[in-house]
Amino acid sequence: MSAAETTPHGDDDAVAGGYLSALAGFEHMTPSRLRHLLRGRTACEAYAMAVGDIPPSPALEVVFSRRLDLRTRWSAQAARRRPEQCWADTVAAGVRVITPDHPEFPAQLAVDPACPAVLFVRGDLAALDARRVGIIGTRNATQAGRSTAAQLGAELAEVGVVVLSGLARGIDAAAHRGALTCPDATPVAVVGNGLDSPYPKQNTELWNQLGARGLLLSEWPVGVAPDPFRFPLRNRILAALTEVLVVVESRERGGSLITAREAITRSVEVMAVPGSVHSRASVGTNRLLADGALTANDTADVLMALGLDHRRAGRARFDARAPLAGTDVDVYDSCREQPRTVDGIMLLTGAGVTETAMQLARLEHAGWLTETGGWFEAIDVWGSLA
Amino acid sequence: MFASIPSAVVVGAQGYPVRVEAHVGPGLPGFSIGGRPDESVRESRDRTRAAILSSQLPYPKTRITVNLAPSDLRKSGAGLDLAIAVGILAAGEQIPLEAIARLAFIGELGLDGSVRAVPGVAPMVGALGDVDVVVPVASALEAEVAALGRVRLVATLGELVAVLNGLTPWVDHEVASPPAEPELTADLAEVQGQPFARQALEIAAAGGHHVLMVGPPGAGKTMLAARLPGLLPPLERAQALEATMVCSAAGLALPSGGLVTRPPFRAPHHTASSAALIGGGSGAARPGEVSLAHGGTLFLDEIAEFAPKVLDGLRQPLEDRQITVSRSGVHVVLPADFLLIAAMNPCPCGGGAPGECLCNADQLHRYVRRLSGPLLDRFDLRVNVHRPGVDELLAHRSAESSATVAARVAEARRRALDRQGCLNRELSGAQLDDFAPLTNPSRAILRHELEHGRLSARGYHRIRRVARSIADLDGGGGEVVDVDAVHLALGLRSAFTKVLPMGRVA
């Protein structure tokens, strides 16, 4: 009996889900190995073959011969990853297991050459039926970059576009936060670890909100740790699910550029937000622009790339802060240009150390500036989300 | 025959008088030393014998017994050689006893009979009190600093014996004066830009506040730190004497005047051991860098690279302004009143403007945690230092020289001493209420910081001390600490405030 013939029967689903959750979490399991194992077999048979209960297929024999310790490692995993236990954990975390033959499996992924063999889902997959824009960027973002991401996320969500991102620190989290300001938004996150444990820790609240209001996707079962090798793999799913990918800030190297490359190979439109030539966080995005990426100056540009009417975008956000006056405006504007130090501000205003310290403290207190490591960055109207 | 010769040893930076009793009497030829000598003193038997024979003097062919009193003190070092040799010669009736009646002897002997310098002559001479001391020529300056009586210089044992026998007068040795101390070459005027960090240095110098400079490589942290000594006033007489004793005990050359009056600047490398930094070591308990920096500045570059155990040893001297070194048999208190200035990177990758750092939060925490909370807390000032931008480097703003700033610092220090009799760093919580009362607006600012978890109770007092120093420098005569001083103090303590979880913020 092959997997395709399994009737969607409750018990059978639970059994298959258990074997899939167990198998996908084996150490040294990769999407392609999992695909090999599941090709023409039920999850139960694939599991038995992986742990050595039935003789390996010729394809698996080749895999075993390339990596000599894999056979012993996988057979040792049988004791640690018991299907019943894995299924109980999956259910407890509110996670569903979806394979490509499932009617709800995202169509964009089903036709992808590197289609994941299994998806773990929390939330409503219907979110993927809307127009989809990926907003991604570096974890070590500037305040300005995070603000931009939050603004794009909010304004896109406002016109009904689904925002996809990776739920990492920095740009990703800001984009999601922005999207969640819209009450009807169903943002989507593709993550690189099990759906039971929020990562990174500071995004726990955001993670849970996305699980409740939007959609969380992972190709790794519950309990899998966020190992570094899982993130580039996650990026291909993210790229495959988007129609337009916007890179807000990126270094000369990094995960965002991997996602951008994955997007290009899938003919997904890549856009980049231009940045200062002085900012290291914009080196990658500026290079993308030089390489032919579309410029994303504002939400209208992104909507245009989606082929949507852009006139609805960009409703002004209410700013509760008391307006600035006098030299405060100059200081705020120069911090908006690029991050400034106390020394830099003194040079600009010509004031003494004490007055400058007072002015900066006042502006920080009023929510116009934020300080990290002695650098002051401007907070725009979207900055409170970033 | 018997002779008793005054001499001295040094333990830590403290001299202790020692009586060298020599007895030459009937018995098989032999030489024994009693009275808790350590190995270096026991070696003295061979040195004195060779030196006496090389000086063409008769060596007793009978039994020699030397005792070092008091016997509860463990004696170390070669400084007793000369006294032992003189004792043997006097007991062997080669030197008349009345010639050495009011003389004390310090010096190491060479096998050829020459008299060599030993470390610690200044504290030794100081401990001997009102007697004339005979010291090696090379130790003239150290002896002069501490001597109450006359200082006699000798170059060789033969010369000394001739003098004591009345054959020649005391030889007038040419004392090579050390080269005049070079003027401080590191001037604040050379620092381009960095007005914020300069201000921090000025405040640190005025209030004696310990400073931690946090900044990426190339920001000029070391350059700034090297300019801090130039802002400090010369040492007071009492402190100068203590510093001189430590300097002498460590075997370092004294400045040309003899007395160490310029605040010392010590910059040990981050591989320094605990004994090197704090003091101690086997036997003699040598002064460490904290004592050598007494009255001046201790600069720890790359402080996060120091061994954590070594750094934690700094906590006692920072608190007590002296260090107690206890080993089996040695228990020494050394002065260690210094201004600590330390430098480190903001994170393992070196940091930089927002968006440049490669480190995640965990790495950052681990890096900052290399400094224990209590140590981090001792820094009143935690300043972010940045690489100056091109505009700042090219800005033609004539930077103030060290002398100008030092004058303001001296004025602020005088104000603090007139008011409370100590530096602002030493103000207690109760004293702060008396001497640094806050205005209502400034109290409101600190309340806001406390309520938002950016300031701890300890940090609150530190901010007030720094604010007091800022007000003193300002000179406006304000006895009350106003908003501007509090704002600046907060700005100068901002490094790591947002990195550290509450409770470690201080």
Q: Is B194 on the interface with A (CB under 8 A)?
A: yes
Point out the domain boundary residue: B393, B415, B437.
Answer: B415
Task: Find chain A residues with C-beta within 8 A of B389's C-beta.
Answer: 341, 343-344
The mean of the pLDDT values for chain A is 89
Q: Judge if B136 and B204 occupy the same domain.
A: no
CATH number at residue B393: 3.40.50.300
Q: What is the pLDDT of residue B187?
A: 87
pLDDT at res. B121: 93
Q: B355 and A138 in contact (C-beta within 8 Å)?
A: yes
Hunting for tokens 């203590």 — which residue is that?
B242
Tell me the chain B residues in contact with residue A171 when contact means C-beta distances shorter than 8 Å. Answer: none
Give the residue from B470, B487, B497 with the most A CB atoms within 10 Å of its CB, the best one to mutate: B487
Taken in order B130, B135, B140, B143, the sign of the CA dihedral is negative
Q: Render pLDDT for A371-382 as a digit per residue (tens, 0 to 9).
A: 888 899 999 888
DSSP reduced 3-state for B100: helix
Kindly give the parts of chain B with pLDDT less than 50.
502-506
Q: How confident is the model at residue A3 (pLDDT cuts 50, 70, 90)?
A: very low
Q: Is residue B432 part of a domain?
A: no
Percent of chain A with pLDDT over 90: 59
User: Are B485 and A202 a contacting pair at CB < 8 A?
Assistant: no
Report A:133-192 residues touching B (Cβ under 8 A).
138-143, 145, 169
Place of tokens 């400094």: B371
Best A169, A172, A354, A359 residue to mutate vs chain B (most B CBs within 10 Å): A354
- Per-residue pLDDT, averaged over A258-286, amounts to 93
B156 shares its domain with B90: yes
Structure confidence at residue B352 (pLDDT): 79
CA pair distance A109, A236, nearest whole angstrom: 10
Could you identify the residue written with the tokens 């208190």? B333
Q: How many distinct structural domains can be found in chain B?
A: 2
CA B16/CA B10 separation, integer angstroms: 6
Nearest to A343 among B392, B448, B485 (CB): B392
User: Do B155 and B217 reside in the same domain of the chain?
Assistant: no
Note which residues in 238-277 of chain A have CB less than 8 A from chain B. Answer: 249
Q: Which of B132, B164, B196 is the last residue of a domain?
A: B164
For B62, phi then psi, to 5°, come to -115, -160
pLDDT of residue B190: 86
CB contact under 8 A, A202 and B193: no
Concatenated DSSP letters of B66-112: EEEESTTSPB-SSTTHHHHHHHHHHHTTSS-GGGGTTEEE--EEPTT
* Chain B CB within 8 Å of residue A204 CB: no
Q: Which of A198, A191, A204 is nearest to A230 (CA)?
A: A191
> B119 lies in a domain?
yes
Q: In this complex, do B389 and A344 lie within 8 Å of one another by their Cβ atoms?
A: yes
pLDDT band at residue A238, thresholds of 50, 70 and 90?
very high
Query: What CA–CA distance (Å, rounded) separates A186 from B21?
Result: 96
Statement to judge: residues B311 and B388 lie in one domain: yes
Q: What integer pLDDT is reported at residue B162 of this predicted model?
A: 95
Distance, in Å, from the CA atom of A347 to the CA atom of A312, rounded to the nearest integer, reads 42
Q: Answer yes or no: is B492 within a domain.
A: no
In this prediction, residue A9 has a pLDDT band, given cuts at 50, 70 and 90, of very low
Cβ–Cβ below 8 Å for B385 and A139: no
Residues B200 and B157 occupy one common structural domain? no
Give me the pLDDT at residue B193, please.
81
CB A260 within 8 A of CB A138: no
> Are the Cβ atoms of A361 and B354 closer than 8 angstroms?
no
* pLDDT score of B500: 63
Beta bridge mates, B135: B153
Contact of A12 with chain B, judged by CB distance below 8 Å, is answered with no
For residues A304 and A307, what is the distance between their CA atoms, to the nearest angstrom?
Answer: 5
Asked if B220 and B192 touch (Cβ cutoff 8 Å), the reply is no
Q: What is the pLDDT of residue A5?
A: 38
Does residue A7 surpass a pLDDT of 60?
no
From A357, which residue of chain B is nearest by alpha-carbon distance? B488
| CA pair distance B345, B361, nearest whole angstrom | 15
Asked whether residue B132 is domain-assigned, the answer is: yes
Domain membership of residue B506 (yes or no) is no
Residues of chain A in contact with residue B388, where contact means CB-CB under 8 angstroms, are 343
| Contact assessment for residue A51 and residue A77, using Cβ atoms and an 8 Å cutoff | yes
Cβ–Cβ below 8 Å for A142 and B392: no
- Does A374 contact B488 at a Cβ distance shorter than 8 Å? no
Indicate the residue among B360, B383, B415 that finishes a domain. B415
If asked whether residues B159 and B216 sit together in one domain, one would say: no
Would you call B355 and A281 a contact, using CB atoms and an 8 Å cutoff?
yes
Structure tokens, A102: 């499932």
Q: What is the CATH number of the domain that holds B56?
A: 3.30.230.10
Examine the domain organization and report whether B220 and B328 are in the same domain.
yes
Record the pTM. 0.80
Contact (Cβ atoms closer than 8 angstroms) between residue A29 and residue A20: no
B491 to chain A, minimum CA–CA distance in Å?
6
Q: Is residue A270 helix, strand or coil?
A: strand
Give me the pLDDT at residue B502, please.
Answer: 46
Structural domain harbouring B95 = 2-164
**pLDDT for res B292:** 94
The answer to whether residue B246 is domain-embedded is: yes
Question: Looking at the structure, do residues B407 and B329 belong to the same domain, yes or no?
Answer: yes
Q: What are the chain B neighbours of A374 within 8 Å (beta carbons)?
A: 214-215, 383-386, 494-495
| B55 inside domain | yes
Residue A279: CB partners within 8 Å, gap ≥ 6? Answer: A142, A249, A338, B353, B355
Q: How many CB atoms lie within 10 A of CB B5?
A: 25
Q: What are phi and psi of B365, to 5 degrees?
A: -60, -45
Strand, coil or helix: A135:
strand
> At residue A311, does pLDDT exceed 70?
no
B448/A365 touch (CB, cutoff 8 Å), yes or no: yes
Give yes or no for A279 touching B (CB within 8 A). yes
Structural contact between residues B336 and B322, judged by C-beta atoms closer than 8 angstroms: yes
Say yes or no: B238 and B139 in one domain. Answer: no
Question: What is the predicted pLDDT for the residue at A372?
Answer: 86
Which residue in B201, B494, B499 has the most chain A C-beta atoms within 10 A of its own C-beta, making it the best mutation to test that interface?
B494
B126 and B196 both lie in a single domain: no
> What's the confidence (pLDDT) of residue A279?
86
Confidence of residue A6 (pLDDT cuts 50, 70, 90): very low
Q: Same structural domain for residues B133 and B219?
A: no
Same domain for B261 and B365, yes or no, is yes
Contact at 8 Å (CB) between A334 and A369?
Answer: no
Q: Is the minimum CB–CB distance between A92 and chain B shorter than 8 Å? A: no
Residue A318 Cα, gap to closest chain B Cα (Å) = 25
Domain membership of residue B497 (yes or no) is no
